Structure 1
Amino acid sequence: MFGKQSSEVEIKASSSKAWSVYSTLKVCSIIQSELSHLIGLEIIQGNGEEGTVAQITPHPDVSTLPAYKEKFTKIDHENRVKILEVIEGGQLDLGFTCYRMIYKVINTQKEDSTTIRVTIEYEGLEDVIASTNIAPVMKVLEVINHCIENDKY
Structure 2
Amino acid sequence: MVGKVEHELEVRVPASELWEIYGGLEVGKMVTKLLPDVFESVEVVEGDGGVGTVLNVIFPKGTSLVTYLKEKFIVIDNEKRVKVVEVIEGGFLDLGFSLYQVYLQIIEKDSKSSIIKSSIEYEVKPGSEANASFVSIQNLQLVAEAIGKYLTEKV
Q: How many angstroms apart in 2 are the aligned matches of 1:140 and 1:80?
A: 17
Quote the offset at 1:65 in angstroms. 1.0
Q: How many angstroms apart in 1 are the aligned matches of 2:150 and 2:27?
A: 10
Quote the offset at 1:16 in angstroms. 0.8
Number of residue-to-residue matches in the alignment: 151
Deviation readout 1:50-79 (Å, 9 max, x if unpaired): 111110110013213131100011100111
What amino acid maps onto 1:74 in structure 2? V
> Percent of aligned positions with the same letter in both sequences?
34
CA RMSD of aligned residues (A): 1.5
Deviation readout 1:76-122 (Å, 9 max, x if unpaired): 011110011100001100111100100000011x3310001001000
- With normalisation by structure 2, the TM-score equals 0.90
Q: How many angstroms apart in 2 are the aligned matches of 1:34 and 1:131?
A: 24
Tell whether the 8 Å contact from 1:45 to 1:52 is kept in structure 2 after alignment: yes
Q: How many angstroms apart in 2 are the aligned matches of 1:146 and 1:24?
A: 19
Tell whether the 8 Å contact from 2:15 to 2:108 is kept in structure 1 after alignment: yes
- For 2:33, the equivalent position in structure 1 comes to 33
**5+ unaligned residues in a row in structure 2: which ranges?**
none
Quote the offset at 1:140 in angstroms. 2.1
- For 1:131, the equivalent position in structure 2 comes to 134
Deviation readout 1:5-58 (Å, 9 max, x if unpaired): 111000111111111111021111111322234312111111111111110110
Q: How many angstroms apart in 2 are the aligned matches of 1:128 and 1:14?
A: 37
Q: How many angstroms apart in 2 are the aligned matches of 1:29 and 1:149?
A: 18
- Is residue 138 of structure 2 the alignment partner of residue 150 of structure 1? no
Q: How many angstroms apart in 1 are the aligned matches of 2:33 and 2:74?
A: 24
Tell whether the 8 Å contact from 1:21 to 1:148 is kept in structure 2 after alignment: no
The 5 Å alignment of 1:93-132 reads: 93-108=94-109, 110-124=110-124, 125-132=128-135
Give the 3-state SS of the residue equivalent to 2:43 in structure 1: strand
Tell whether the 8 Å contact from 2:107 to 2:116 is kept in structure 1 after alignment: yes
